[in-house]
Amino acid sequence: MNTKTKVGFIGLGAMGRGAVGNLLANGYGVVGCDVRPDALDWLRAQGGEPASSLAEMAGQVDVVVCFVVNSQQTEAVLFGDAGLVGRLPAGAVFIACSTMDPGYVRTLDGRLAQHSISLIDAPVTGGAVGAERGTLTIMGSGNPEAFELARPVLETFGARVHYLGVAGCGAQMKVLNQLLCGVHLAAAGEALALAKRQGLPLDLTLEILCSGAAGSWMLADRGPRMIAGQFDDVTSAVDIFVKDMSLVLDATRESRFPAALAHAAYLAFLGTASRGLGAQDDSAVTTHYEIAARTS
């Protein structure tokens, strides 16, 4: 793809903005859609082109990157009123970077093929910081020829772009990734809540835990927010992990696989959301354990 190639982009949240910044920095034109006017203002300020509708976008691009929240939003983008299907040109590539149910992804692949659209199932990990720095890990799957067409786009915001096989394999890998992320995050919240209950100095506790074998990326990244008890600066919401751990549990049921730690983590996020904290940063999961300790 040359420097004049335009890429459609849907979903200008924290992750999407980082990816868009890297696309623009690498010479791609970006035609973007988002339901929030301020996100479109941001895109215009970066040198991208806001589209007033999906239909307007579809007439300008052959490749679309989608960073929406879930399969329901993906379905609406593609098949909803004024959706992309029927408006994208034949041979277009739709790159889905959302965390979705693998079964849905496999079915979606066939449905899009009927409209001569290639699906690239490409969930990511590495957070908003990784998207901004272009260091995401991308778990790609789909038609191999279409994947190679999509690879240059993916490599603008992914430092490690992996091909796993047919569509749905990327979603399966992301489910596994989220199992570990959810368990690590819940465990970090539990440990720091226990340290607080015991009266340990929290800053020093975090420094010590991160310096040895107990450390994890989630502990180091979310720990300071847990200690501060300030969850309004949201990089990823509690509700996202309620959704993602639900996908993990669906996968374990399908596989007849007992995943006790995944269940425990899911309940921690669900318990946090049930207290009205679902829209808060996911580090708020530590409050689940703090409240449990106060009532025990």
Q: How far apart are CA 53 and CA 33, in angstroms?
A: 7
Strand partners, 281: 237
Burial class (CB in 10 A: 0-12, 13-18, 19+), 31: buried
Is the CB of residue 71 less than 8 Å from the CB of residue 15? no
Q: How far apart are CA 276 and CA 201, in angstroms?
A: 28
Q: How far apart are CA 24 and CA 7, in angstroms?
A: 10
Q: How far apart are CA 273 and CA 231, in angstroms?
A: 13
Enumerate the active-site residues: 174
Helix (H, G, I), strand (E, B) or coil at 143: coil
DSSP assignment string, 237-251: BHHHHHHHHHHHHHH
